Amino acid sequence: MAASRKRALATLFAALAMTGASAVAAPQASAYPGPGVVTGDIRVHDPSVVKRPDGSYLVAHTADGIGLKTSTDRTAFRNAGAAFPNGASWTTTYTNGSRNLWAPDISYRNGQYWMYYSASTFGSNRSAIFLATSSSGNAGTWTHRGLVIESRTGDNFNAIDPDLVVDDQGRWWLSFGSFWSGIKMVALNPSTGLRSDSTIRAIAGRNGGAIEAPNIVKRGNYYYLFVSFDRCCQGAASTYRVMVGRSTSVTGPYVARNGTAMTSGGGTEILAGQGSIHGPGHQDVFGDVDSDILVYHYYGDDGASRLGINLLALDSAGWPYVH
């Protein structure tokens, strides 16, 4: 093939990758598929998605007052305002007065929407996780339900990046954490959504290294713990990547595919940056009618964060892969 034609094809495939055309393969095989096609208002950071009873989708993401977006088809997204358009005064102790709230986890249970979210400042573990509920999920309808857990500068954990999971016995658990000693878990009272005891369990860590954004789902015989390794929030220089381990118990021990415990730095990579897709991470997994869905943010060459969506499946050995 002529050199000029090779360059032209390379340019074409790079452009397709930026538009999310994941069905087209590059001339040299990429390690992972590109994000699926999404359109409209797709500038998000730390997305969490829930499917609503009417079949549409609600996205919550890091922003002033927690940003909201909606979609009817999982492709075209529009801005839907903020959960707390007038701010959240109860969080300012942890944000130094900023209205920016982080990393929400949104779900629909028992006829209402539940949202856990973080209040902190960058690089600090003076942080807190709060709970809010809403009957509709719409902007301005969220009710503050209280502080779930906080961390102070003397603690060995960081109370950000919450994720709710309900186990097979109907027990509620909240995983969370970033850097410090890693990913933690606490038990919740299903009636209130707040803590039910004082125990803090350790479920993953990298000896103080870069691990955050836990997300747990049950499929078959296993609970799968998805986390993000390495560096977020540096635009096109971000090195975030999505890792996974599994356990037969919601509280662990979680292990990687090679058997390494996630409490000892283990994790199996299922998505990483390539080409013009930089730092994919802060993942959220949810089940839809056609497939399990992996939602995340990534950065383009311009440094802006965007919504990434891919299908997720299990291989013959029961390990997740993106397609």
33-78 per-position pLDDT tens digit: 999 999 999 999 999 999 999 999 999 999 999 999 999 999 999 9
Instruction: Read off φ and ψ for residue 217, nearest 5 degrees.
Output: -135, 150
pTM > 0.85: yes or no: yes
- The answer to whether 161 is a known ligand-binding residue is yes
Please give the average per-residue pLDDT across 142-160, as a whole number.
98
301 part of the active site? no
- The answer to whether 114 is a known ligand-binding residue is no
Q: Torsion over CA of 250, 256, 259 and 263, rounded to 10 degrees?
A: -60
150 part of the active site? no
Query: Would residue 31 count as lying in a domain?
Result: no
- The answer to whether 158 is a known ligand-binding residue is yes
Number of structural domains in the chain: 1
- Give me the domain span that covers residue 277: 38-322
Q: What is the pLDDT of residue 29?
A: 54
Check 46, 105, 230, 284 and give the catalytic one. Answer: 46
Alpha helices (H) in the chain, listed in sequence order: 3-18, 92-95
Query: Would residue 24 count as lying in a domain?
Result: no
Check 163, 212, 230, 284 and give the catalytic one. Answer: 212
Whole-angstrom CA distances from 96 to 91, 93, 104, 120, 127 are 9, 6, 19, 8, 11
Residue 109: beta bridge partners? 112
- The answer to whether 180 is a known ligand-binding residue is yes
- The answer to whether 252 is a known ligand-binding residue is no
Query: Would residue 259 count as lying in a domain?
Result: yes
Query: Would residue 123 count as lying in a domain?
Result: yes
- Provide the 3-class DSSP secondary structure of residue 182: coil
Say which CATH number the domain at 113 has: 2.115.10.20
Query: Would residue 167 count as lying in a domain?
Result: yes
Query: Would residue 26 count as lying in a domain?
Result: no
Query: Would residue 178 count as lying in a domain?
Result: yes
Query: Would residue 32 count as lying in a domain?
Result: no
